[in-house]
Structure 1
Amino acid sequence: MRAEERKQVNVGDWVKLQSNKGERIHGFVEKQLEEENRVQIRVIASDNHLLTNHSIQVHVVKLQVEPDSKYYTLGELEQLIDLALQTNDKAWFDALSDQYNYLKKETEAKRHIDYTQVN
């Protein structure tokens, strides 16, 4: 078995790939499938808009696992909040909303310049 066939992909990993038609796909692993080296991913963004918010099954060799990030942008949080609403996950929605509101407040505070302090 080649090394790329043994690629380790876990549920929850953010991944990206390119379809056979050249369409870029970005999403996260929903579950491992019984069939060896295949996973089901939830598509969050794609050049093919018909795939967005749907699940697809792919071979792990095609996947590029995204590095973990502790921080999200406002845009990423908006997408995750939409996903939490679609999945009816109230706890996740509440946690994401808190992060979003905090980050938005911090971002707006940094844009505000106090000209009285400038010499």
Structure 2
Amino acid sequence: MSNQHSILKTGDWIKGKLLSGELVIGYIENLDIQSQTLKAKVVTSDNKTIEGKSLPLLNRQVTKIPSTPVKNKEQIQFLIDLALATGDQEWFLELTAKLNSMRELAEGIK
């Protein structure tokens, strides 16, 4: 199940275009390898009525969004808000631990 040199897996962030033309950004909730389909939770879209919904998509309709390293406090705070909005407790705890480590490091330098 290759998609632009990336293997899709549950939890991956994706961007795609629905057959009706709407752009979507979300994350994979379920994959069906045999039928080449997935179910994605839509976090944002140019069609606001589908935000927050889970939609079935074909693998060929989506592209995996590459992960980028978080470099500053503002990025982590934004991701914490996103983790809260998506209800991802594990990610929230991971991000808050990273933010606390950054704060401790900054206090140690003073």
Deviations 1:70-101 (A, max 9, x none): 327232331122223xx6x3x44333334456
Amino acid at match of 2:96: S
* 1:10 Cα deviation from its structure 2 partner: 1.2
Structure 2 regions of 5+ residues with no counterpart?
A: none
Task: From the CA coordinates, give the structure whose radius of gyration is larger.
Answer: 1
Structure 1 regions of 5+ residues with no counterpart?
A: 110-119
What are the residue-to-residue correspondences of 1:43-82 with 2, within 5 Å?
A: 43-71=42-70, 73=75, 74-82=77-85
State how far apart, in whole Å, the 1-side matches of 2:18 and 2:61 are: 8
State how far apart, in whole Å, the 1-side matches of 2:22 and 2:14 are: 14
* 1:30 Cα deviation from its structure 2 partner: 0.9
**1:81, 1:97 within 8 Å by CA — same for their partners in 2?**
no
Q: Percent identity?
A: 20
State how far apart, in whole Å, the 2-side matches of 1:78 and 1:47 are: 20
Amino acid at match of 2:85: D
* 1:102 Cα deviation from its structure 2 partner: 6.2
